Structure 1
Protein backbone atom coordinates (compact mmCIF):
# COMPACT_ATOMS: atom_id res chain seq x y z
CA UNK A 1 0.00 0.00 0.00
CA UNK A 2 1.31 3.46 -0.92
CA UNK A 3 0.56 6.00 1.81
CA UNK A 4 0.52 9.71 1.14
CA UNK A 5 2.77 10.42 4.14
CA UNK A 6 4.72 8.32 6.59
CA UNK A 7 5.28 10.07 9.92
CA UNK A 8 8.35 8.79 11.75
CA UNK A 9 7.64 9.73 15.35
CA UNK A 10 4.28 10.06 17.05
CA UNK A 11 4.98 12.47 19.87
CA UNK A 12 3.69 16.07 19.96
CA UNK A 13 5.19 17.32 16.68
CA UNK A 14 4.30 14.15 14.80
CA UNK A 15 0.75 14.10 16.14
CA UNK A 16 0.27 17.75 15.20
CA UNK A 17 1.60 17.21 11.66
CA UNK A 18 -0.51 14.09 11.28
CA UNK A 19 -3.66 15.95 12.30
CA UNK A 20 -3.28 18.50 9.49
CA UNK A 21 -2.88 15.73 6.92
CA UNK A 22 -5.73 13.65 8.33
CA UNK A 23 -8.04 16.63 8.05
CA UNK A 24 -6.98 16.93 4.41
CA UNK A 25 -8.17 13.31 4.03
CA UNK A 26 -4.70 12.05 3.21
CA UNK A 27 -3.55 8.49 3.96
CA UNK A 28 -1.14 8.84 6.88
CA UNK A 29 0.93 6.11 8.51
CA UNK A 30 2.19 6.99 11.98
CA UNK A 31 5.19 4.94 13.16
CA UNK A 32 6.19 5.55 16.75
CA UNK A 33 8.59 3.80 19.15
CA UNK A 34 6.96 5.26 22.27
CA UNK A 35 10.00 7.13 23.66
CA UNK A 36 8.88 10.71 24.30
CA UNK A 37 11.76 12.99 25.23
CA UNK A 38 9.86 14.39 28.23
CA UNK A 39 8.72 10.99 29.55
CA UNK A 40 10.50 11.61 32.89
CA UNK A 41 8.62 14.84 33.68
CA UNK A 42 5.48 14.64 35.82
CA UNK A 43 3.88 17.81 34.46
CA UNK A 44 4.14 20.08 31.43
CA UNK A 45 3.97 23.85 31.52
CA UNK A 46 3.79 26.77 29.12
CA UNK A 47 1.44 25.08 26.62
CA UNK A 48 -1.75 27.14 26.39
CA UNK A 49 -4.79 25.18 27.52
CA UNK A 50 -2.72 22.33 28.98
CA UNK A 51 -0.62 24.09 31.62
CA UNK A 52 0.16 21.69 34.48
CA UNK A 53 -1.07 18.63 32.65
CA UNK A 54 0.91 15.38 32.63
CA UNK A 55 2.83 15.02 29.35
CA UNK A 56 1.63 11.44 28.92
CA UNK A 57 -1.99 12.58 29.11
CA UNK A 58 -1.42 15.31 26.51
CA UNK A 59 0.18 12.77 24.16
CA UNK A 60 -2.52 10.14 24.77
CA UNK A 61 -5.35 12.61 24.16
CA UNK A 62 -3.64 13.85 21.00
CA UNK A 63 -3.32 10.30 19.69
CA UNK A 64 -6.93 9.51 20.56
CA UNK A 65 -8.16 12.55 18.65
CA UNK A 66 -5.94 11.79 15.65
CA UNK A 67 -7.08 8.18 15.43
CA UNK A 68 -10.69 9.30 15.03
CA UNK A 69 -9.78 10.06 11.40
CA UNK A 70 -10.26 6.96 9.20
CA UNK A 71 -7.30 7.64 6.90
CA UNK A 72 -4.75 7.33 9.73
CA UNK A 73 -2.96 4.08 10.65
CA UNK A 74 -0.73 3.64 13.70
CA UNK A 75 2.20 1.21 13.96
CA UNK A 76 4.08 0.86 17.25
CA UNK A 77 7.63 0.23 16.07
CA UNK A 78 11.05 1.73 15.38
CA UNK A 79 12.15 2.76 11.89
CA UNK A 80 15.67 1.46 11.27
CA UNK A 81 16.11 2.48 7.63
CA UNK A 82 14.71 5.09 5.25
CA UNK A 83 15.55 5.41 1.55
CA UNK A 84 14.31 7.45 -1.39
CA UNK A 85 13.09 5.50 -4.40
CA UNK A 86 11.10 6.10 -7.56
CA UNK A 87 7.82 7.82 -6.67
CA UNK A 88 8.53 8.34 -2.98
CA UNK A 89 10.17 6.69 0.01
CA UNK A 90 10.50 3.31 1.65
CA UNK A 91 11.07 2.73 5.36
CA UNK A 92 12.00 -0.49 7.11
CA UNK A 93 10.90 -1.08 10.69
CA UNK A 94 12.37 -3.26 13.38
CA UNK A 95 9.39 -5.61 13.70
CA UNK A 96 6.74 -4.86 11.08
CA UNK A 97 8.58 -4.92 7.78
CA UNK A 98 8.56 -2.22 5.11
CA UNK A 99 6.18 0.60 4.21
CA UNK A 100 6.04 3.09 1.34
CA UNK A 101 4.81 6.67 1.00
CA UNK A 102 4.96 9.63 -1.37
CA UNK A 103 6.24 11.92 1.39
CA UNK A 104 8.16 11.44 4.63
CA UNK A 105 8.05 13.54 7.81
CA UNK A 106 10.80 13.06 10.39
CA UNK A 107 9.46 13.85 13.85
CA UNK A 108 11.96 11.62 15.61
CA UNK A 109 13.01 14.03 18.35
CA UNK A 110 16.46 13.82 19.89
CA UNK A 111 18.36 11.72 22.41
CA UNK A 112 19.74 13.63 25.40
CA UNK A 113 23.33 12.81 26.32
CA UNK A 114 23.67 13.97 29.92
CA UNK A 115 26.72 15.02 31.95
CA UNK A 116 28.42 11.99 33.53
CA UNK A 117 27.77 12.96 37.14
CA UNK A 118 26.50 10.43 39.64
CA UNK A 119 22.88 11.05 40.60
CA UNK A 120 22.04 13.27 37.62
CA UNK A 121 20.45 10.71 35.29
CA UNK A 122 17.79 9.60 37.80
CA UNK A 123 16.82 13.22 38.53
CA UNK A 124 16.49 14.27 34.87
CA UNK A 125 13.05 15.78 34.37
CA UNK A 126 12.23 15.79 38.08
CA UNK A 127 14.94 17.89 39.77
CA UNK A 128 17.39 18.44 36.91
CA UNK A 129 15.96 20.37 33.96
CA UNK A 130 16.86 22.05 30.67
CA UNK A 131 14.06 24.64 30.25
CA UNK A 132 13.36 27.43 32.79
CA UNK A 133 10.05 28.28 31.10
CA UNK A 134 8.90 24.67 31.54
CA UNK A 135 10.02 24.09 35.14
CA UNK A 136 11.36 27.26 36.74
CA UNK A 137 8.10 28.56 38.23
CA UNK A 138 7.47 25.36 40.23
CA UNK A 139 10.73 25.86 42.16
CA UNK A 140 8.89 28.58 44.12
CA UNK A 141 11.73 31.13 43.93
CA UNK A 142 13.98 28.66 45.74
CA UNK A 143 17.65 27.76 45.41
CA UNK A 144 18.65 27.05 41.83
CA UNK A 145 21.89 25.65 40.47
CA UNK A 146 23.23 25.94 36.92
CA UNK A 147 25.58 23.07 36.12
CA UNK A 148 27.88 24.11 33.29
CA UNK A 149 28.59 21.72 30.43
CA UNK A 150 29.96 24.48 28.18
CA UNK A 151 30.29 28.29 28.18
CA UNK A 152 26.64 28.34 27.06
CA UNK A 153 25.78 27.88 30.73
CA UNK A 154 25.95 31.67 30.87
CA UNK A 155 22.60 31.70 29.05
CA UNK A 156 20.93 29.72 31.85
CA UNK A 157 22.76 31.60 34.58
CA UNK A 158 21.59 35.02 33.37
CA UNK A 159 17.98 33.87 32.90
CA UNK A 160 17.35 31.96 36.09
CA UNK A 161 17.48 34.72 38.73
CA UNK A 162 13.92 35.52 37.63
CA UNK A 163 12.94 32.14 39.09
CA UNK A 164 15.07 31.96 42.24
CA UNK A 165 18.43 32.48 43.94
CA UNK A 166 20.94 31.25 41.38
CA UNK A 167 24.41 29.75 41.64
CA UNK A 168 26.53 28.92 38.59
CA UNK A 169 28.72 25.83 39.01
CA UNK A 170 31.41 26.20 36.36
CA UNK A 171 32.58 22.62 37.06
CA UNK A 172 35.94 23.02 35.36
CA UNK A 173 34.30 23.71 32.00
CA UNK A 174 35.05 27.42 31.72
CA UNK A 175 35.94 30.51 33.73
CA UNK A 176 33.80 33.63 33.19
CA UNK A 177 35.81 36.50 31.78
CA UNK A 178 35.60 40.00 33.26
CA UNK A 179 32.61 41.03 31.15
CA UNK A 180 30.73 37.80 31.90
CA UNK A 181 31.48 38.13 35.61
CA UNK A 182 30.11 41.66 35.56
CA UNK A 183 26.91 40.37 33.94
CA UNK A 184 26.58 37.66 36.59
CA UNK A 185 27.16 40.21 39.35
CA UNK A 186 24.43 42.48 37.96
CA UNK A 187 22.00 39.54 38.03
CA UNK A 188 23.05 38.50 41.55
CA UNK A 189 24.41 35.10 40.44
CA UNK A 190 26.94 33.41 42.72
CA UNK A 191 29.75 31.42 41.10
CA UNK A 192 31.24 28.16 42.38
CA UNK A 193 34.36 26.89 40.58
CA UNK A 194 34.91 23.69 42.61
CA UNK A 195 34.22 20.45 40.74
CA UNK A 196 30.80 18.81 41.24
CA UNK A 197 31.21 15.11 42.04
CA UNK A 198 27.68 13.93 42.79
CA UNK A 199 24.02 14.94 43.08
CA UNK A 200 22.21 13.52 46.09
CA UNK A 201 19.27 14.05 48.45
CA UNK A 202 15.53 14.18 47.95
CA UNK A 203 15.88 17.32 45.84
CA UNK A 204 19.18 18.20 44.21
CA UNK A 205 22.09 18.62 46.61
CA UNK A 206 25.38 19.16 44.81
CA UNK A 207 28.38 17.47 46.43
CA UNK A 208 31.66 19.20 45.66
CA UNK A 209 35.20 17.83 45.40
CA UNK A 210 36.25 19.72 48.56
CA UNK A 211 33.58 17.93 50.64
CA UNK A 212 30.99 20.70 50.75
CA UNK A 213 27.35 19.92 50.01
CA UNK A 214 25.20 22.73 48.60
CA UNK A 215 21.46 22.17 49.02
CA UNK A 216 19.35 23.18 46.03
CA UNK A 217 15.72 22.96 44.99
CA UNK A 218 16.53 22.35 41.33
CA UNK A 219 19.37 22.26 38.81
CA UNK A 220 19.46 23.35 35.19
CA UNK A 221 21.96 21.99 32.70
CA UNK A 222 22.38 21.53 28.96
CA UNK A 223 22.55 18.05 27.50
CA UNK A 224 24.21 17.21 24.23
CA UNK A 225 21.53 16.15 21.73
CA UNK A 226 21.74 13.47 19.08
CA UNK A 227 19.32 13.14 16.15
CA UNK A 228 18.12 9.99 14.41
CA UNK A 229 20.50 8.32 11.90
CA UNK A 230 17.63 8.36 9.38
CA UNK A 231 18.58 11.92 8.41
CA UNK A 232 22.05 10.82 7.33
CA UNK A 233 20.64 7.81 5.47
CA UNK A 234 18.45 10.14 3.43
CA UNK A 235 21.23 12.68 2.86
CA UNK A 236 19.49 15.56 4.64
CA UNK A 237 21.54 18.68 5.31
CA UNK A 238 22.30 19.39 8.95
CA UNK A 239 22.85 22.63 10.84
CA UNK A 240 24.91 23.16 13.99
CA UNK A 241 22.93 24.06 17.09
CA UNK A 242 24.04 25.03 20.60
CA UNK A 243 23.70 21.44 21.89
CA UNK A 244 24.24 19.42 18.70
CA UNK A 245 23.29 19.05 15.07
CA UNK A 246 19.71 19.44 13.90
CA UNK A 247 17.94 19.15 10.54
CA UNK A 248 18.00 22.21 8.30
CA UNK A 249 14.55 23.01 6.85
CA UNK A 250 12.92 25.77 4.83
CA UNK A 251 9.86 27.80 5.83
CA UNK A 252 7.54 24.89 4.96
CA UNK A 253 9.72 22.54 7.02
CA UNK A 254 11.02 20.66 3.99
CA UNK A 255 14.59 19.41 4.37
CA UNK A 256 17.27 19.63 1.70
CA UNK A 257 15.86 16.37 0.29
CA UNK A 258 12.71 16.98 -1.75
CA UNK A 259 9.71 15.25 -0.20
CA UNK A 260 11.30 14.85 3.23
CA UNK A 261 9.98 17.18 5.94
CA UNK A 262 10.97 17.52 9.59
CA UNK A 263 9.47 18.99 12.75
CA UNK A 264 9.93 19.11 16.50
CA UNK A 265 13.19 18.87 18.38
CA UNK A 266 14.94 17.17 15.46
CA UNK A 267 14.69 20.37 13.39
CA UNK A 268 14.58 23.06 16.07
CA UNK A 269 17.39 23.94 18.45
CA UNK A 270 14.94 24.26 21.36
CA UNK A 271 12.50 21.99 23.10
CA UNK A 272 8.96 22.39 24.44
CA UNK A 273 5.56 20.89 23.70
CA UNK A 274 4.18 24.23 22.51
CA UNK A 275 7.00 24.73 20.02
CA UNK A 276 6.79 21.12 18.83
CA UNK A 277 3.05 21.37 18.18
CA UNK A 278 3.46 24.59 16.21
CA UNK A 279 6.30 23.14 14.13
CA UNK A 280 4.20 20.05 13.48
CA UNK A 281 1.45 22.19 11.96
CA UNK A 282 3.95 23.77 9.57
CA UNK A 283 5.42 20.42 8.53
CA UNK A 284 2.00 18.83 8.00
CA UNK A 285 0.78 21.75 5.91
CA UNK A 286 4.07 21.82 4.01
CA UNK A 287 3.81 18.14 3.16
CA UNK A 288 0.21 18.60 2.03
CA UNK A 289 1.09 21.52 -0.27
CA UNK A 290 3.89 19.38 -1.69
CA UNK A 291 1.42 16.61 -2.50
CA UNK A 292 -0.92 19.07 -4.18
CA UNK A 293 1.81 20.56 -6.34
CA UNK A 294 3.22 17.17 -7.26
Structure 2
Protein backbone atom coordinates (compact mmCIF):
# COMPACT_ATOMS: atom_id res chain seq x y z
CA UNK A 1 0.00 0.00 0.00
CA UNK A 2 1.15 3.55 -0.74
CA UNK A 3 -0.19 6.01 1.83
CA UNK A 4 -1.03 9.58 0.96
CA UNK A 5 1.21 10.74 3.81
CA UNK A 6 3.49 9.19 6.39
CA UNK A 7 4.03 11.24 9.52
CA UNK A 8 7.14 10.37 11.50
CA UNK A 9 6.56 11.43 15.09
CA UNK A 10 3.30 10.98 17.01
CA UNK A 11 3.56 13.73 19.58
CA UNK A 12 1.65 17.02 19.54
CA UNK A 13 2.81 18.32 16.14
CA UNK A 14 2.53 14.95 14.41
CA UNK A 15 -0.96 14.19 15.72
CA UNK A 16 -2.13 17.70 14.86
CA UNK A 17 -0.83 17.32 11.31
CA UNK A 18 -2.47 13.92 11.06
CA UNK A 19 -5.82 15.29 12.17
CA UNK A 20 -5.99 17.71 9.23
CA UNK A 21 -5.23 14.92 6.76
CA UNK A 22 -7.60 12.46 8.42
CA UNK A 23 -10.43 14.96 8.20
CA UNK A 24 -9.66 15.26 4.48
CA UNK A 25 -10.19 11.48 4.30
CA UNK A 26 -6.61 10.82 3.30
CA UNK A 27 -4.85 7.54 4.02
CA UNK A 28 -2.13 8.29 6.55
CA UNK A 29 0.33 6.39 8.69
CA UNK A 30 1.93 7.70 11.86
CA UNK A 31 5.20 6.12 13.00
CA UNK A 32 6.11 6.93 16.58
CA UNK A 33 8.70 5.64 19.05
CA UNK A 34 6.96 7.03 22.17
CA UNK A 35 9.69 9.48 23.21
CA UNK A 36 7.88 12.79 23.74
CA UNK A 37 10.30 15.58 24.58
CA UNK A 38 8.26 16.69 27.61
CA UNK A 39 7.76 13.21 29.08
CA UNK A 40 9.78 14.26 32.14
CA UNK A 41 7.34 17.03 33.15
CA UNK A 42 4.42 16.63 35.54
CA UNK A 43 2.20 19.21 33.87
CA UNK A 44 1.83 21.27 30.71
CA UNK A 45 0.87 24.93 30.64
CA UNK A 46 -0.07 27.65 28.19
CA UNK A 47 -2.17 25.47 25.86
CA UNK A 48 -5.80 26.63 25.60
CA UNK A 49 -8.25 24.28 27.26
CA UNK A 50 -5.48 22.02 28.61
CA UNK A 51 -3.65 24.31 31.04
CA UNK A 52 -2.19 22.29 33.92
CA UNK A 53 -2.94 18.89 32.41
CA UNK A 54 -0.40 16.08 32.46
CA UNK A 55 1.42 16.15 29.10
CA UNK A 56 0.95 12.41 28.65
CA UNK A 57 -2.79 12.75 29.14
CA UNK A 58 -2.98 15.46 26.47
CA UNK A 59 -1.08 13.27 24.02
CA UNK A 60 -3.14 10.16 24.83
CA UNK A 61 -6.46 11.94 24.34
CA UNK A 62 -5.24 13.48 21.09
CA UNK A 63 -4.17 10.07 19.78
CA UNK A 64 -7.50 8.53 20.77
CA UNK A 65 -9.38 11.22 18.86
CA UNK A 66 -7.15 10.85 15.81
CA UNK A 67 -7.47 7.08 15.70
CA UNK A 68 -11.27 7.39 15.56
CA UNK A 69 -10.84 8.35 11.90
CA UNK A 70 -10.93 5.21 9.71
CA UNK A 71 -8.15 6.27 7.32
CA UNK A 72 -5.47 6.49 10.02
CA UNK A 73 -2.97 3.78 10.97
CA UNK A 74 -0.36 3.87 13.72
CA UNK A 75 2.91 1.94 14.03
CA UNK A 76 4.81 2.02 17.30
CA UNK A 77 8.43 1.75 16.22
CA UNK A 78 11.50 3.85 15.42
CA UNK A 79 11.93 5.14 11.89
CA UNK A 80 15.57 4.45 11.10
CA UNK A 81 15.91 5.13 7.38
CA UNK A 82 14.24 7.23 4.69
CA UNK A 83 14.76 7.29 0.94
CA UNK A 84 13.16 8.84 -2.12
CA UNK A 85 11.25 6.61 -4.51
CA UNK A 86 9.65 7.24 -7.90
CA UNK A 87 6.23 8.10 -6.46
CA UNK A 88 7.28 9.49 -3.10
CA UNK A 89 9.23 8.19 -0.12
CA UNK A 90 9.89 4.98 1.79
CA UNK A 91 10.47 4.68 5.53
CA UNK A 92 12.14 1.67 7.16
CA UNK A 93 11.48 1.05 10.86
CA UNK A 94 13.44 -0.85 13.48
CA UNK A 95 11.51 -4.07 12.96
CA UNK A 96 12.63 -4.10 9.31
CA UNK A 97 9.24 -3.19 7.85
CA UNK A 98 9.11 -0.64 5.05
CA UNK A 99 6.27 1.79 4.32
CA UNK A 100 5.72 4.06 1.31
CA UNK A 101 3.85 7.34 0.86
CA UNK A 102 3.42 10.15 -1.62
CA UNK A 103 4.22 12.77 1.03
CA UNK A 104 6.30 12.74 4.19
CA UNK A 105 5.96 14.88 7.31
CA UNK A 106 8.87 14.92 9.77
CA UNK A 107 7.56 15.67 13.26
CA UNK A 108 10.53 13.97 14.86
CA UNK A 109 11.33 16.50 17.58
CA UNK A 110 14.63 17.18 19.30
CA UNK A 111 16.61 15.87 22.24
CA UNK A 112 17.85 18.12 25.02
CA UNK A 113 21.51 17.87 26.01
CA UNK A 114 21.78 19.03 29.62
CA UNK A 115 24.78 20.63 31.32
CA UNK A 116 27.00 18.20 33.22
CA UNK A 117 26.02 19.13 36.78
CA UNK A 118 25.52 16.48 39.48
CA UNK A 119 21.86 16.11 40.39
CA UNK A 120 20.50 18.12 37.46
CA UNK A 121 19.23 15.28 35.25
CA UNK A 122 17.02 13.83 37.99
CA UNK A 123 15.20 17.15 38.40
CA UNK A 124 14.78 17.90 34.68
CA UNK A 125 11.15 18.81 33.98
CA UNK A 126 10.35 18.84 37.69
CA UNK A 127 12.48 21.58 39.27
CA UNK A 128 14.83 22.31 36.38
CA UNK A 129 13.35 23.88 33.23
CA UNK A 130 14.16 25.77 30.04
CA UNK A 131 10.86 27.59 29.30
CA UNK A 132 9.60 30.33 31.66
CA UNK A 133 6.21 30.46 29.94
CA UNK A 134 5.70 26.74 30.54
CA UNK A 135 6.79 26.57 34.19
CA UNK A 136 7.53 30.01 35.64
CA UNK A 137 4.08 30.74 37.06
CA UNK A 138 4.01 27.52 39.12
CA UNK A 139 7.07 28.65 41.10
CA UNK A 140 4.67 31.00 42.90
CA UNK A 141 7.01 33.97 43.02
CA UNK A 142 9.75 32.00 44.77
CA UNK A 143 13.49 32.33 44.30
CA UNK A 144 14.57 31.45 40.77
CA UNK A 145 18.02 30.53 39.49
CA UNK A 146 19.48 30.70 36.00
CA UNK A 147 22.47 28.43 35.47
CA UNK A 148 24.64 29.82 32.68
CA UNK A 149 26.01 27.38 30.15
CA UNK A 150 26.17 29.88 27.28
CA UNK A 151 25.59 33.59 26.62
CA UNK A 152 21.90 32.73 26.11
CA UNK A 153 21.63 32.78 29.90
CA UNK A 154 21.43 36.58 29.82
CA UNK A 155 18.13 36.31 27.90
CA UNK A 156 16.60 34.03 30.53
CA UNK A 157 17.97 36.08 33.41
CA UNK A 158 16.40 39.29 32.07
CA UNK A 159 13.01 37.60 31.54
CA UNK A 160 12.62 35.63 34.74
CA UNK A 161 12.22 38.45 37.31
CA UNK A 162 8.60 38.67 36.11
CA UNK A 163 8.13 35.26 37.76
CA UNK A 164 10.22 35.73 40.91
CA UNK A 165 13.48 37.09 42.40
CA UNK A 166 16.24 35.86 40.10
CA UNK A 167 19.90 34.91 40.56
CA UNK A 168 22.18 34.36 37.57
CA UNK A 169 24.86 31.76 38.30
CA UNK A 170 27.70 32.47 35.88
CA UNK A 171 29.41 29.16 36.70
CA UNK A 172 32.48 30.23 34.70
CA UNK A 173 30.46 29.79 31.47
CA UNK A 174 30.71 33.41 30.36
CA UNK A 175 31.26 36.91 31.68
CA UNK A 176 28.60 39.61 31.14
CA UNK A 177 29.90 42.87 29.77
CA UNK A 178 29.25 46.24 31.41
CA UNK A 179 26.07 46.88 29.41
CA UNK A 180 24.66 43.47 30.32
CA UNK A 181 25.49 43.97 34.00
CA UNK A 182 23.62 47.26 33.88
CA UNK A 183 20.61 45.53 32.31
CA UNK A 184 20.66 42.84 34.99
CA UNK A 185 20.86 45.45 37.72
CA UNK A 186 17.86 47.32 36.32
CA UNK A 187 15.87 44.07 36.41
CA UNK A 188 16.98 43.36 39.97
CA UNK A 189 18.91 40.21 39.06
CA UNK A 190 21.59 39.03 41.48
CA UNK A 191 24.78 37.86 39.76
CA UNK A 192 26.68 35.00 41.43
CA UNK A 193 30.20 34.40 40.10
CA UNK A 194 31.19 31.53 42.41
CA UNK A 195 31.23 28.16 40.58
CA UNK A 196 28.35 25.74 41.12
CA UNK A 197 29.21 22.36 42.63
CA UNK A 198 25.90 20.49 42.51
CA UNK A 199 22.13 20.70 42.74
CA UNK A 200 19.97 19.10 45.45
CA UNK A 201 18.39 15.67 45.07
CA UNK A 202 14.76 16.72 45.63
CA UNK A 203 14.83 20.51 45.41
CA UNK A 204 16.56 22.96 43.09
CA UNK A 205 19.00 24.05 45.81
CA UNK A 206 22.40 25.11 44.50
CA UNK A 207 25.58 24.20 46.35
CA UNK A 208 28.47 26.49 45.46
CA UNK A 209 32.15 25.58 45.45
CA UNK A 210 32.61 27.11 48.92
CA UNK A 211 29.84 24.90 50.32
CA UNK A 212 27.35 27.75 50.51
CA UNK A 213 23.80 26.65 49.67
CA UNK A 214 21.29 28.86 47.87
CA UNK A 215 17.72 27.60 48.08
CA UNK A 216 15.61 27.96 44.97
CA UNK A 217 12.04 27.26 43.90
CA UNK A 218 13.28 26.37 40.43
CA UNK A 219 16.29 26.51 38.15
CA UNK A 220 16.39 27.42 34.45
CA UNK A 221 19.05 26.25 32.03
CA UNK A 222 19.89 26.54 28.32
CA UNK A 223 20.17 22.97 27.01
CA UNK A 224 21.67 22.33 23.61
CA UNK A 225 19.29 20.52 21.26
CA UNK A 226 19.88 18.03 18.48
CA UNK A 227 17.50 16.45 16.03
CA UNK A 228 16.05 13.21 17.42
CA UNK A 229 16.09 11.47 14.06
CA UNK A 230 18.59 11.13 11.18
CA UNK A 231 15.84 11.10 8.53
CA UNK A 232 16.11 14.77 7.54
CA UNK A 233 19.83 14.42 6.90
CA UNK A 234 19.34 11.14 5.03
CA UNK A 235 16.85 12.81 2.70
CA UNK A 236 19.07 15.83 2.10
CA UNK A 237 16.88 18.35 3.93
CA UNK A 238 18.59 21.66 4.55
CA UNK A 239 19.19 22.56 8.19
CA UNK A 240 19.67 25.95 9.75
CA UNK A 241 21.31 27.11 12.94
CA UNK A 242 19.12 28.11 15.86
CA UNK A 243 20.07 29.58 19.23
CA UNK A 244 20.35 26.12 20.83
CA UNK A 245 21.08 23.86 17.86
CA UNK A 246 20.20 23.01 14.28
CA UNK A 247 16.63 22.55 13.07
CA UNK A 248 15.03 21.67 9.74
CA UNK A 249 14.60 24.61 7.38
CA UNK A 250 11.10 24.95 5.88
CA UNK A 251 9.32 27.48 3.70
CA UNK A 252 6.07 29.33 4.42
CA UNK A 253 4.12 26.16 3.62
CA UNK A 254 6.28 24.11 6.02
CA UNK A 255 7.92 22.23 3.13
CA UNK A 256 11.64 21.48 3.17
CA UNK A 257 13.97 21.95 0.22
CA UNK A 258 13.19 18.31 -0.69
CA UNK A 259 9.90 18.31 -2.65
CA UNK A 260 7.13 16.47 -0.87
CA UNK A 261 8.91 16.41 2.49
CA UNK A 262 7.43 18.66 5.17
CA UNK A 263 8.53 19.28 8.77
CA UNK A 264 6.86 20.66 11.87
CA UNK A 265 7.12 20.95 15.64
CA UNK A 266 10.35 21.25 17.60
CA UNK A 267 12.35 19.72 14.74
CA UNK A 268 11.41 22.67 12.52
CA UNK A 269 11.24 25.69 14.85
CA UNK A 270 14.00 27.43 16.77
CA UNK A 271 12.05 27.15 20.03
CA UNK A 272 8.64 25.81 20.91
CA UNK A 273 6.09 24.45 23.37
CA UNK A 274 2.93 22.34 23.16
CA UNK A 275 0.73 25.15 21.86
CA UNK A 276 3.23 26.12 19.17
CA UNK A 277 3.72 22.47 18.15
CA UNK A 278 -0.02 21.91 17.77
CA UNK A 279 -0.47 25.03 15.66
CA UNK A 280 2.56 24.23 13.54
CA UNK A 281 1.32 20.69 12.98
CA UNK A 282 -2.09 21.92 11.87
CA UNK A 283 -0.49 24.25 9.31
CA UNK A 284 1.77 21.48 8.06
CA UNK A 285 -0.97 18.88 7.72
CA UNK A 286 -3.11 21.27 5.70
CA UNK A 287 -0.14 22.22 3.49
CA UNK A 288 0.74 18.58 2.84
CA UNK A 289 -2.89 17.86 1.92
CA UNK A 290 -3.05 20.76 -0.53
CA UNK A 291 0.21 19.64 -2.14
CA UNK A 292 -1.49 16.35 -2.99
CA UNK A 293 -4.12 18.29 -4.95
CA UNK A 294 -2.34 21.19 -6.58
CA UNK A 295 0.83 19.65 -7.95
State the TM-score, normalized to the length of structure 2.
0.99
Q: 1:233 — aligned with what?
A: 234
Shift of 1:271: 2.1
Q: Deviations over 1:42-97 (max 9, x none)?
A: 11000011001110010000000000000000000000000111110000000151
Give the 5 Å matches for 1:75-86: 75-86=75-86
Q: Deviations over 1:169-190 (max 9, x none)?
A: 0111111100000000000000
Q: Is the 8 A contact 1:77 1:96 kept in 2?
A: no
Taking the aligned partners of 1:264 and 1:149, their CA distance within structure 2 comes to: 25
- How many equivalent residue pairs? 294
Q: Deviations over 1:97-128 (max 9, x none)?
A: 10000000000000111001110001000000
CA RMSD of aligned residues (A): 0.7
Q: 1:289 — aligned with what?
A: 290
Q: 1:44 — aligned with what?
A: 44
Give the 5 Å matches for 1:45-194: 45-95=45-95, 97-194=97-194
Shift of 1:201: 4.2
Taking the aligned partners of 2:96 and 2:127, their CA distance within structure 1 comes to: 38
Q: Deviations over 1:118-169 (max 9, x none)?
A: 1000100000001000000000000000011100101100000000010000
Q: Is the 8 A contact 1:2 1:100 kept in 2?
A: yes
| Mapped pair 1:246 → 2:250 | no
Shift of 1:193: 1.1
Q: Is the 8 A contact 1:7 1:31 kept in 2?
A: yes
Q: Deviations over 1:187-229 (max 9, x none)?
A: 0000011111211142111111121111111000011101021
> Counterpart of 1:183 in 2: which secondary structure?
helix
Taking the aligned partners of 1:210 and 1:16, their CA distance within structure 2 comes to: 50
Q: Is the 8 A contact 2:122 2:201 kept in 1?
A: no
Q: Deviations over 1:259-278 (max 9, x none)?
A: 00000000001121000000
Q: 1:11 — aligned with what?
A: 11
Taking the aligned partners of 1:201 and 1:262, their CA distance within structure 2 comes to: 38
Taking the aligned partners of 1:99 and 1:22, their CA distance within structure 2 comes to: 18
Q: Is the 8 A contact 2:158 2:183 kept in 1?
A: yes
Q: Is the 8 A contact 2:123 2:202 kept in 1?
A: no
State the TM-score, normalized to the length of structure 1.
0.99
Q: Is the 8 A contact 1:16 1:280 kept in 2?
A: yes
Gaps of 5+ in 1: none
> Counterpart of 2:225 in 1: which secondary structure?
strand
Shift of 1:293: 1.5
Q: Is the 8 A contact 1:81 1:93 kept in 2?
A: yes
> Counterpart of 1:138 in 2: which secondary structure?
helix
| Mapped pair 1:264 → 2:257 | no
> Counterpart of 1:268 in 2: which secondary structure?
coil
Q: Is the 8 A contact 1:129 1:221 kept in 2?
A: yes
